[in-house]
Structure 1
Amino acid sequence: MSNATDGDAAPVGGIFRVVHFAARVLGITVAIVGLYVAGLGILDETLMRVGTFGIAGVLLLLTSMALRPSGGSLRHLGLLVDVVLLAAFLAAIWRYMEIGRALQIGLYMFQQTDILLGTLGLVVLLELTRRAMGLPLLIICLLGLAYAVFGDVLPGILRHSGFSFQQVLQVTWYSFDGVFGGPLSVVVSLILVFIVFGVLLEGIGAGAVLLKFAFALTGHTRGGPAHAAIAASGAFGTMSGSVAGNVVGTGVITIPMIRDRGFSGRYAGGIEAAASSGGQFMPPVMGAVAFIMADVTGIPYLTICLAALVPALFYYLSLFVSVHLEAVRRDIKPIPKSERPILTAHDYLMSLCFVVPLGVVVALMVMGRSPALAGFYAVLTALALGLLFNPDLRRHPMRIVTALANAGAAAAQIIIAVGAIGILIGVMNMTGLGLRFAGVILSVAGDSLFLALIMMMLGSLVLGMGMPTVPAYLIIVLVMGPAIEQMGVPTVIAHLFVVYFGVLSAITPPVAIAAFVAAPIAKANPIMISLDASKVALIGFVIPFVMVYNPSLVLVTPEFSWLGFVWIALRLMLAIWMFSTAFTGYAAGRIGLPSRGARLVLGLAVLVPWLWVEIASLALIALIVSRDAAPLILAQSATAQDRKLNKAEQG
């Protein structure tokens, strides 16, 4: 009996090894497609969009098959489902490729076979969406399809003229207005190369060196590893298209070290989650959302980077201040000099693998080259420098192949998510739901811009839950964008508004995907982590409103003035101090609960766009800040006096 069992098990194991190998090959293929399209030329549109989408879908299905846990009949049932899904998906993609040319010129009569295979394609896409992105996006897609088919029976403003299922299928699956629409084209032709870039940096060893630099540069501060986590996550997060991926990539190193320095586990996880989130709106890459925003809005990429820069810097300034105060409150000392990492000549050389490619991106963009080409040369530069400066990479060149496979796997999830959002885009185009939703917001908010922004914030936090930055941005701006632009808000600010809240949904309870990812590393409750992350990142929830009411903050709007910029920058810095001291309960000393509440109120009040409130709040805050600073000034004065006395005595 045992021989028979062993004989049966061997082929199964061999099959799974083949499936795993095939998934790696497809991952490398996706990465190479991204590099080819970005640097060497554009493929036929049908081949580029549908073909790459097909490879991504097959890759995810094979990955699911390879990762099936052992479990007897349940495992075999799951494998059977995967095989059926794979066959249906391949048939649907093959049919589209076969009739794609006729679809583009609009001279094709649909057959029942097309309807069947298109339906199967949508079903498999929805299942892949559930596996890759979870239930929230799946539910939204199902609601969108239901609205397209049955919206003609809804009352009031939600009602549309009605569409048959075949009409919905033709738009969502068999056209470039749905699943295979513009956003998918942007992902394949532009964003994919930056996903490869981010993963390749980690593969060649630049990520580890980046962390070492962060620890070396912040070791003298009392925040120590927490400040290092902020710096590293901000730098690496801008390259990553996923907050959760960034938390895992840097958090496995930073979170335990933050705990070891005396911070609580929940605070360590919260800092990492908040810092990783901020990388998604930190130029120059902004988790690749900068490029798709440029495509959606028509605003030049460099303009978007410039607009996003100052708000992002204020966000990270707030995190640094909060960590410093928390360290002082806990009496955490700087890392002893003997324990700080020592930067070697090799580390400085390896840092060029990160710095030079980013410089290449910016330089080529300034020269007027396309972002895709800039990303392509950045990848080549990073690879060349990695091989030049990292002897371990030369000894183990397969690390490059592994990095490409990992990049393809990460890209496949983004491609499937954007494809699912294409369903919503098709439905929006058919029914005009985006404009209807904008009408609902405007009718509820009336003439109140603030109320409309609150509704936009809540909607963005809900729609962005559990999704990577690019698909979160796309779905939010699709639904919310028309409403905020109709209120007279400049386009770049409107889009940054939804990006901020789409990103911060990753740390907002109850979903808080970044907190749940950080929880097992921090060994703390994920809800507590999300609460701490939301507290230290409070300024991030305020900055989008500040941008709307103070356009000078983004530097690029016609309303910009240096006086307005200086005025809002001063008030933002004071608000950061008020928020940080209120939540940590510490300034020059411990602060009581009433004083903490007053500081929180004043921090918000100084940003209220009424001049008399600004001035009154500013005066009260100046009084509080001077009182906070007095003990520090006296202590420094006493220290200086002691030094003079010691010198005099020695003399």
Structure 2
Amino acid sequence: MTESQNIKTIIQWVITLTALGMCAFHLYTAQFGLFSAMVQRPVHLLFACALVFFIHPALRKTDRAAMGPGWRILDIAMIILTAAALIHIATEYKSLVARGGAATDLDLWLGGIVIIMVLDATRRIMGPALPIITLVAIAYTLFGHLIPGLWGHRLIDLEQLISYQFLTTEGLFTIPLGVSASFIFIFILFGAFLVASGTGEFFIRFANALAGHMRGGPAKVAVLSSATFGSISGSAVANVVSTGSFTIPLMKDIGYRPVFAGAIESVASTGGQFMPPVMGAAAFIIADMLGTTYLEVCKAALIPAVLYFVALLYMVHLEAVRRGLKGLDRSMLPPLWKTIKQGGHLLLPAVILIAFLVQGYSPMKSGLWALVAVVVISWFKKSTRMGPRKILTAMEKGARGSLEVALACACAGIVIGCVTQSGLGLKFSSLVIQASGGSLLLSLVFVMVASLILGMGLTTSAAYILTVILAGPVLVDLGVKPLAAHLFVFYYACLSCITPPVALAAFAGAGLAGSKPFATGFESMRLAIIAYLVPFIFVYHPVLIWQGSWYAIMLSFVSAVLGCVAIGSSLLGYLAGRLNLLFRAVLLGAAFLLIMPGLYSDLGGVALLGLIYLLMNLAAKKALPVSTQA
């Protein structure tokens, strides 16, 4: 081995050991209880920054070659500085309390270092968007006193800013980082263990065995497998790449257009982020920010998520019928019962997770024991057995997978600190209400646009947090229920993944399908139309998020499913035959009436849908003798 290869091997070992140390710390606290906030959160952030600095070097390849073996010195120096600052706050927080929170010169220097390091680590792993937003927030805090009028605020100097960010739990170490340091890490690790045990592959095999032979089978497999796996992975793009590499070529092989195949996979993968039970770990952030239970968030998200996938499956089926596409030959598919026998046991950890949550255990404890269950249950079959090597690999992948969320939450914490310290959070509601003229609908549109724009450059969790700290109070002040307001913001943060001009999930699907990225993005928007509408509905009528009587909830659900049928037929132009423009417009109106809760609107929507269906059937019967004679 050359000297550079030796250094590379050593660095890889350091990365692995750091990742394993991060996992060990979080597994210990999941079982035996969290440390105080000013210990748990800095230690979590320290592991995350150290891994990012090792995995994503500061220097480009050309600069590394010029510097020789010593090119790692800068990264190591940054890790040492970050460790010194974060260990300082974790070990000295008691003395900080004793002196009433007064900052020393050392506190201020180390606090400034941590803020800089967090910004750089976030830039390395996520790009410049979130650090730029954070720097704008810092600049506003420091110089906002120069702005006249309502947008200005009192003078805040650099010492006050650093003290607030570094020495309290109101800035850098606020709720988002706390959730990342407790719940989210365990669930990302749980997802990594599921992947290592072969659960992701089982989802695809099971979906193939279940639906692969149906009309447009591969597309239905894409929807089913992405809905299940996407909830666990938490990343729409990662989900597209993992399941799409298998499903997209099959969709194209049976006759789906490349742009449609890429769009189906990206829409299904995006929907996985708001499909309970895991919801890509966002459910924990929402629950913590609202001060409610994780189960309440999952329950509220269930009906909109089901409607999303019902609409998507229906449109997949219509496209197959319209184009005369068939499913895969059964000889190409795994037998259903054999598939269940071989891998059905891999579903047990998810059942155990839900059982623990229903029994009232904390999400962190539930996630820990579900993770243990993955390892134990994997030993039921030789083909899925997880040995020590697989376990250690899963731990390293889990730690690596947590880095984006951890750094996004840290940066989001800095922004939250700036918003609260400057008083912008309190003023923003009145500013938006004033701009919208007090109109709830206009305010909702403003918030939707903000969520979509922020989500284009950030992770879903970061986009949700940044939007909701400013826009959440606006909606609540206008009479929206808090849970509905938070889910409204979250849905559009998710949908940014398929909304051009920066639709990352759609672009990933286009790459696999060989289609044009923007065409795939707009096709994705068309297929996901129900998700763009439902958040407005549950804001005005919270019955869709389980706010109401059982009778009202079930009636609204059934009518909304019929609404999905109407809107799918309208968009694809098919219902028992090809629809003309007038019938498509009537069905679009029927869809709005059906999705909107209310007895009279439901009856009107059913009447219109039934009328169009009846007319199409009559037209088909009249055309039958003609085609027979021909």
**1:255 to 2:243 alignment:** no
Structure 2 counterpart SS, 1:274:
helix
> 334, 349, 359: which is aligned to 2:327?
334
Q: Counterpart of 2:379?
A: 387
Question: Structure 1 stretch 79-88 or stretch 299-308: which is displaced more?
Answer: 79-88
**Against the structure 1 CA distance between its residues 91 and 229, is the aligned structure 2 distance closer, same or farther, given a 3 Å change threshold?**
same
1:204 correspondence with 2:197: yes
1:303 and 2:313 correspond = no
Q: Does 1:63 align with 2:25?
A: no
The 8 Å contact of residues 412 and 462 in structure 2, kept in 1 or not, is answered as yes
**1:414-445 CA-partner distances (Å, limit 9, x unpaired):** 11110110101111221222232221221122
| Identical columns (%) | 34
- Which one of 256, 264, 270 corresponds to residue 257 of structure 2? 264
Number of matched pairs: 624
Residue 291 of structure 1: CA displacement?
2.1
Structure 2 matches for 1:298-447, cutoff 5 A? 298-343=291-336, 345=338, 347-354=340-347, 356-391=348-383, 393=385, 397-447=388-438
2:122 to 129, 148, 156: 129
Kept in 1, the 8 Å contact 2:346–2:374? The answer is: yes
Please give the alpha-carbon distance, in whole angstroms, between the structure 2 residues aligned to 1:486 and 1:288.
27
Shift of 1:633: 8.6
> Which of 228, 241, 244 does residue 221 from structure 2 map onto?
228
With over 3 angstroms needed to count, the CA separation of the structure-2 counterparts of 1:415 and 1:428, relative to structure 1, is same
Q: For 2:81 and 2:249, how far apart are their aligned partners in 1?
A: 45
Distance in 2, matches of 1:108 and 1:564, equals: 52
Q: Which runs of 5+ in 2 are unaligned?
A: 625-630
- Give the alignment partner of residue 51 of structure 1, picking from 43, 47, 71: 43
8 A contact 2:184–2:284 mirrored in 1? yes
Deviates more, 1:26-35 or 1:83-92: 83-92
AA aligned opposite 1:304? V
Give the alignment of 1:141-290 within 5 angstroms.
141-290=134-283
Higher mean displacement: 274-283 or 606-615: 606-615
How has the CA–CA distance of structure 1 residues 564 and 138 changed in structure 2, closer, same or farther, with 3 Å as cutoff? Answer: same
1:565 match: 553
State the superposition RMSD in angstroms. Answer: 2.8
- Given that 2:448 and 2:492 are in contact with CA atoms closer than 8 Å, whether structure 1 keeps it comes out as yes
Pair 1:88 & 2:76 matched? no
TM-score (norm 1): 0.89
Q: Aligned partners of 2:362, 2:94: CA distance in 1, in Å? A: 28
1:562-612 CA-to-partner distances (Å, cap 9, x unmatched) read: 554355335423432232223323333333455545544553455567987
TM-score (norm 2): 0.92
Change (3 A) 1:36 1:141: same
Q: Is the 8 A contact 1:550 1:568 kept in 2?
A: no
Q: Is the 8 A contact 2:206 2:339 kept in 1?
A: no
Q: 2-side partners of 1:617 and 1:391: how far apart?
A: 51
Q: Corresponding residue for 2:627?
A: none
CA distance in 1, matches of 2:588, 2:288: 39
**Which of 496, 511, 516 matches 1:525?**
516
State whether structure 2 residue 576 is matched by structure 1 residue 583: no
Shift of 1:347: 4.2
Summarize the Cα distance change of 1:176–1:493 in structure 2 as closer, same or farther, 3 Å threshold.
same
Pairwise CA distance, 1:94: 3.8
Q: Could you say which residue in structure 2 is the equivalent of 1:544?
A: 535
Q: Which residue of 2 aligns with 1:621?
A: 609
The aligned amino acid for 1:569 is F
- Indicate how the Cα distance of structure 1 residues 105 and 226 shifts in structure 2: closer, same or farther if over 3 A, else same: farther
> How many Å apart are 1:401 and its aligned residue?
1.0
- Shift of the alpha carbon at 1:379? 0.5
Distance 1:496 1:451 in 2: 18
**More off after superposition, 359-368 vs 96-105:** 96-105
Paired residue secondary structure (2:379): helix
* SS state at 1:284 partner: coil
Change (3 A) 1:496 1:345: same
CA distance in 2, matches of 1:176, 1:545: 34
Q: Aligned AA for 2:365? A: L
- The alpha-carbon deviation at position 175 of structure 1 amounts to 2.2
Per the alignment, do residues 34 and 390 of structure 1 end up closer, same or farther by CA in structure 2, a change over 3 Å counting?
Answer: farther
Q: 1:617 to 1:41 in 2, by over 3 A?
A: closer
